[in-house]
Amino acid sequence: MELSQEQGRFPGDVALETVREWTLWLTEVERRIGAQFARREARWHAGAYLRGLLSSVERKNGWQIAAINGETTPYGVQHLLGRAQWDADALRDDVRPSVVEHLGASQAVLVVDETGFLKKGQHSAGVARQESGTAGRVENCQIGVFLTYAGPQGHVMLDRELYLPKEWTNDEARCKGAGMPAERLFATKPQLAQQMLQRAFDAGVPAAWGAGDSVYGENRSLRLWLEEHSHAYVLAVSGKE
């Protein structure tokens, strides 16, 4: 991929052989995820989106990702993320073995944490006025609960779940309008964390322990579940605990 002066350059101290290795690695990733996209156009845009995320563009929005891939409009990227038919969970499961292959280590740590995404409207799935650690106050936002994997070779996002407040799960019509599956029930953040940890353990992801802040450490059910399954953990608690 050629980068113009406006789009950015590879660092001057990067050897050509390193660039070749990056290219081979990226090609292998595209091959691994390609089976999840039935249409050729969707497969191409999935690879292009990945290249855009790894590029030097300052803002990773549809317009800039399209531009760095030689497209005049962001329609292809927007279609991939908003309308194309593909299974995000199946894609996650396809990528996970690569994480274990390249970053897996017995002394690695599974870290769970949530992040808030500020929103102005009311229609995005899960949006509500709720506590946002990102903003440091109650804000209109979405909350995502994430599982990351950190080891000697690096760290990576491994799994994710969208937190749906009860005002959403109790409103079937609102969930349907936002594209949320009807079977999605209310789950607390610690319960979502347990689901993701269970998937990682079931998939054989090697880790020495799990870690998280007091949102998870003060949840007795999560602690007992980890102990019952002989999973070591380091979870923060507040003074009241």
pLDDT, tens digit, 9 for 90 and up, residues 91-107: 999 999 989 998 999 99
CB 235 within 8 A of CB 216: yes
pLDDT at res. 4: 43
Domain with CATH 3.30.420 in the chain: 105-235
CA distance 197 to 227: 13
- Report residues of the chain scoring pLDDT below 70: 1-14
pLDDT at res. 188: 97
For the domain bounded by 105-235, which CATH number is listed?
Answer: 3.30.420
pLDDT at res. 15: 75
pLDDT at res. 207: 95
Rg (C-alpha) for the chain, rounded Å, is: 20
Which residue in the block uniquely carries the two structure tokens 């292809």?
A: 76
CA distance 20 to 30: 15
Residues 6+ apart with CB under 8 A from 64: 52, 57, 58
Q: How many CB atoms lie within 10 A of CB 97?
A: 14
pLDDT digits (tens, 9 = 90+) for 174-196: 998 888 887 889 999 999 999 99
Which residues share a beta bridge with 160?
146
pLDDT at res. 237: 93
Q: How many CB atoms lie within 10 A of CB 134?
A: 13
Residues 6+ apart with CB under 8 A from 67: 7, 57
